[in-house]
Structure 1
Amino acid sequence: MESYVIGLDIGTTSAKAVLFKKDGVVVAESESLYSVSHPQPSWAEQDPVVIEKAAIASISSVVKKANAKKEQVCTVGLSSAMHSLICLNNHYEPLSPSIIWADGRSVKQAERLKRKTDIYLKTGTPIHPMSPLSKLVWMKENDYKPYQEATMFVSIKEYLLLQWFGVAVVDYSVASSTGLFNIHSFDWDDDVLEIASVRREQLSKPVPPTEVCQGLPIDIAEQMGLKADTPFVLGGSDGPLANLGIGATAPGDVAITVGTSGAIRQMSSKPKTDEKQEIFCYGVADNLWIMGGPTNNGGIAFQWMRDVLGEKEVELALSNGGSAYDLLTKRAATVSPGSNGLLFLPFLNGERAPYWDANARGSYIGLTLAHKKEHMIRAGLEGVVFSLYSVGEALERLAGEPVNLYASGGFARSPLWLQIVADIFGHPVQVPESHQSSAWGAAWFALLAIGEVSSLEAIKKSIPMKQTIEPNRESSEVYQELYKTYRQLYFALKPHFSALANFQRMSF
């Protein structure tokens, strides 16, 4: 009887469960959606109870889709988005919502903390409102009641582990993304804890990604369709797991991921930070770190374009049972690379790497009467990739030139977007069969933890690849010329961003 492994990926907008064969072939996948609430301008919150239900439902659904028996699932690996923060009482009940990476309430605190460069040099987490450190300082300075009453501060993955197993543990990469974790000692940093006024006993115990939890409550196991003693393995955060799941583990292997947000990352055998604070450096496992930078605006920028520019396409897609995104990209594909001189700064949700500026705002630059909807859509897709390319420049400074380029995430399903990546980077892009690389990375750590595979590096033999996208030299030359202008636009407009952001906050 064949055995399977499940990768559970707790993302920003959904919980995805993917059931794999041990060679990486996808048998079934399931996704349960949930929403983000914005109770005040720039706030971004989620209900952890809803997310737990979605996680259970996605596992249950994928087991049923595969018609798998309980005993066939040998293990479950866990992946999660970074930077979430939940205040809990001593019964592990949430006192606050899950405040996610997109939350911008702590802008002032982050601006002040950023002057303390030693924090970043020790933790590898750029100082930004995304980080739990900035959120905790905001809570302290604003007498946030859940903070004052909290027994523990946890991420969404830790919350699930507490509900399912009653253990307070956190894997190294999720701990690293808090801004409270020292990437050199692999422990909570006492000086930074003092800044946040947080005690060690209010945080989970940092553990390796191969840490195993067992003993699901019977009712939850039955809901999931699993045995109660099925081993759940902590894995990591979605970024390093996407690198692992796509095989980008060696020096020079660079992974680009675009889901709701986006990122470009490279593994390293030692931590590297500098005072420019442009990229992150998170611990993953003993002698393994992940370096790179995230953009706030990946698929969420395309979603905005769909909602604002694609009304007719949405109606047509719904009437025909198709995808509005496919229709929009078909229109964009009719436009030549460079969108007839139209550039788009995709900072619709502020920006993280390499600027770490929560006040950054999006812009179309170069609009003329000749530009139509399809130019704006293509410029939007190009702008997201230009943003990732600018992060790649900062990453290359510390990690070296890319040798292999891999694509993962939802955008890997778009031939046009993949071609834009190949053309802007001027490098072939390797694409796997499954775009759920974070789930496969989590699953591989799980297999490693229970002794089913021998090493992290061995995953390269178990990643079914779909295709390689070759760059078009003429398009690359167009993009390199346009990028010279793109890279100057942020700095030219930066003096105006703060005033605009403040006006917008007052207007809502």
Structure 2
Amino acid sequence: MKSYILGIDIGTGSTKGVALSLAGETLASSQHRYPIIEPQPGFSEQDPELIWQAFVQCVQEITKKLNQLPEAISFSSAMHSLILVDADGKVLNNMITWADTRSESIAQRLRDSEKGEAIYRNTGTPIHPMTPLCKLIWLRENEAELFKRTTKFISIKEYIWYKLFNKFEVDYAIASATGLFDIKELRWNEEACQLAGVTADVLSEPVDTNYQQKGITADMASLLGITEDTAFVIGASDGCCANLGSYVTGAGMAALTIGTSGAVRTTGSKPVFNYKAMPFNYLLNKNTFVSGGAVNNGGIAVDWLLKKFLNQPELNEESYNGLFKAIDSVPAGSEGLIFLPYLYGERAPIWDANSSGAYLNIQPKHGQAHFLRAGLEGICYALNDVLGTLEEASGSIKQINISGGFIDSATWVQILADITGKKLVVLQMEDASTIGAIYLAMETLYPDKPLPVAKEQKVVEPGKANHEVYTQAFPLYKKLYADLKGTMQLLQDLR
């Protein structure tokens, strides 16, 4: 049997595991889902214990399938989560996810203050309610007793790491997405922590993304079905891992991922700053920055289209195939129908949690298929908007390596190629974030051995005629948000 490394990606909707041989061959995979809890508007929470159980099940299933133990287990994880634990490591709250917007007024207040830009430039993290910085301020102001009872403020990956090793440690990538970590000094930022009302001792110890640990207990080893001396590599965030897993390591290239949300990212030796558009700057390791922008409305917006326009409360593969088949009959540009996809507010590049979805230029000729196609086009327009911001800051991008569930749809991928006007390449059919976590482990365990060579699985070129249509429509898409921003705020106040 071939030796392998097990990559674990702790995502918003599920935890995924992939076993990869040292030659780069996928040997097995596993995935376990869990729900999002929305107790009131603007709140987005999850049960950390369900995520822990999903992690355990992924490890158990893969080791059982292969009947062989991994050389190492390495992690990728969604960013911006926040869990409060007491002195015994007991969880005090549901995990607050990146999608939670309860601290929007705090984020706006901080963006408008003199300190806002300085904190952004020191931490590399956009000032937005997704960040633990804003979440902590909200908790301190609204849940004072809970805040005082907390011994440690941690992310979901830190929670799993603590369950494994009884240590509170956090990798540079996850730390650099908190809004509390100085990406140049590689330590917790004193000014940001002061604003949040915390000190370094209630946060985890920062370590580089190649940090490894051994020595789980016999009981834990028995639970997971591995040995006590199995190496664990702490890994990085999902976005940073996806860049590595997509082989986006230099100029002229970007990685684009669409899952529940979506993101466009570049890799470089320096951060990219622009306070208006606020691209993020997260650490793949202490010398490498992953810069880019994330949008809230990726696959989650497609699910909304399916549920509301195709009346499919339970989604499956046939649901998505039906959507893509329906829109194939509609020409590029949806005959003038434009969708602003801000159903769940928006992050980059507008950073407006009070923005909302809107269809514009509705005419009698527009039917259900037009609304569906315009919905997908709106998601791609949003990502193209982020791409433009990155190109302004770091130069022209010729190729985009893509990953995420959307790559299974030829229709969706072609729309993205036509809107961006870029060559799109799929290098890994498996999840790029999980593969990136595995590559981090390979670099850690075998520093003198090159990573497996990537093979182009799929290449999609933009269609000239469709690209011309979208080139004319895209400026209108951008103008519509600027025109409607004030109205969206009034409607939010009314709601």
Report if TM-score (shorter chain) is over 0.5: yes
1:97-176 counterparts in 2 under 5 A? Answer: 97-115=94-112, 116-176=116-176
Equivalence for 1:188: 188
Equivalence for 1:272: 272
Distance 1:375 1:96 in 2: 43
Q: Give the secondary-structure state (helix, strand or coil) at the position aligned to 2:301.
A: helix
Equivalence for 2:436: 441
1:452-467 counterparts in 2 under 5 A? Answer: 453-454=447-448, 458-459=450-451, 461-467=452-458
Shift of the alpha carbon at 1:277?
A: 4.4
Equivalence for 2:414: 419
Q: Which one of the candidate residues 484, 489, 493 is aligned to 2:480?
A: 489
**Code of the aligned partner of 2:366:** H
**Code of the aligned partner of 2:367:** K
* Deviant stretches of 4+, over 4 Å: none
Equivalence for 1:221: 221
1:69-468 counterparts in 2 under 5 A? Answer: 69-70=68-69, 73-115=70-112, 116-311=116-311, 322-451=317-446, 453-454=447-448, 458-459=450-451, 461-468=452-459
Does 2:59 align with 1:68? no
> How many residue pairs were aligned?
492
Confirm or deny: 8 A CA contact 1:245 1:438 kept in the other structure.
yes
Q: Give the secondary-structure state (helix, strand or coil) at the position aligned to 2:35.
A: coil
Distance 2:367 2:226 in 1: 52
Q: Give the secondary-structure state (helix, strand or coil) at the position aligned to 2:7.
A: strand
Shift of the alpha carbon at 1:432?
A: 2.4
Distance 1:225 1:286 in 2: 33
Q: Give the secondary-structure state (helix, strand or coil) at the position aligned to 1:311.
A: coil
User: Structure 1 residues 216-225 or 433-442, which shifts more?
Assistant: 216-225
Alpha-carbon distance change, 40 to 145 in structure 1, aligned in 2, over 3 angstroms = farther
Deviation per CA, 1:174-207, whole angstroms, max 9, x where unpaired? 0000000111111110111111110111011111
Q: Give the secondary-structure state (helix, strand or coil) at the position aligned to 1:240.
A: helix
Distance 2:328 2:34 in 1: 31
User: Structure 1 residues 392-401 or 467-476, which shifts more?
Assistant: 392-401
Shift of the alpha carbon at 1:408?
A: 0.5
Equivalence for 2:471: 480
Give the TM-score, by structure 2 length: 0.96
Q: Give the secondary-structure state (helix, strand or coil) at the position aligned to 2:457.
A: strand
User: Structure 1 residues 477-486 or 269-278, which shifts more?
Assistant: 269-278
Distance 2:448 2:110 in 1: 42
Shift of the alpha carbon at 1:88?
A: 0.7
Confirm or deny: 8 A CA contact 2:11 2:78 kept in the other structure.
yes
Distance 2:2 2:30 in 1: 20
Confirm or deny: 8 A CA contact 1:80 1:157 kept in the other structure.
yes
Q: Give the secondary-structure state (helix, strand or coil) at the position aligned to 1:354.
A: coil
Confirm or deny: 8 A CA contact 2:294 2:347 kept in the other structure.
yes
Shift of the alpha carbon at 1:469?
A: 0.4
Confirm or deny: 8 A CA contact 1:253 1:402 kept in the other structure.
yes
Confirm or deny: 8 A CA contact 1:245 1:463 kept in the other structure.
no
User: Structure 1 residues 56-65 or 109-118, which shifts more?
Assistant: 56-65
Distance 1:355 1:405 in 2: 22
Alpha-carbon distance change, 220 to 368 in structure 1, aligned in 2, over 3 angstroms = farther
Distance 2:68 2:443 in 1: 22
Confirm or deny: 8 A CA contact 2:100 2:129 kept in the other structure.
yes
Shift of the alpha carbon at 1:284?
A: 2.2
Alpha-carbon distance change, 433 to 242 in structure 1, aligned in 2, over 3 angstroms = closer
Deviation per CA, 1:441-478, whole angstroms, max 9, x where unpaired? 00110111122x537xx44x433431100110000000
Distance 1:433 1:97 in 2: 34
Deviation per CA, 1:245-304, whole angstroms, max 9, x where unpaired? 010111222001000000000001112323324211112212200100000000000010
Alpha-carbon distance change, 433 to 253 in structure 1, aligned in 2, over 3 angstroms = same
Shift of the alpha carbon at 1:69?
A: 1.4
Query: Which residues of structure 2 form unaligned runs of 5+?
Result: none
Percentage of identical aligned residues: 39
User: Structure 1 residues 265-274 or 436-445, which shifts more?
Assistant: 265-274
Confirm or deny: 8 A CA contact 2:172 2:286 kept in the other structure.
no
User: Structure 1 residues 174-183 or 373-382, which shifts more?
Assistant: 373-382
Shift of the alpha carbon at 1:366?
A: 1.5
Confirm or deny: 8 A CA contact 2:327 2:369 kept in the other structure.
yes
Confirm or deny: 8 A CA contact 1:343 1:366 kept in the other structure.
yes
Q: Give the secondary-structure state (helix, strand or coil) at the position aligned to 1:8.
A: strand
Shift of the alpha carbon at 1:62?
A: 2.3
Distance 1:482 1:64 in 2: 52
Alpha-carbon distance change, 25 to 334 in structure 1, aligned in 2, over 3 angstroms = farther
Deviation per CA, 1:403-439, whole angstroms, max 9, x where unpaired? 3211001111111111111111111100124240000
Equivalence for 1:14: 14
**Code of the aligned partner of 1:501:** Q
Distance 2:413 2:366 in 1: 23
Confirm or deny: 8 A CA contact 1:24 1:440 kept in the other structure.
no
Deviation per CA, 1:336-374, whole angstroms, max 9, x where unpaired? 111111111110100000011100100111112211111
Q: Give the secondary-structure state (helix, strand or coil) at the position aligned to 1:323.
A: helix
Give the TM-score, by structure 1 length: 0.94
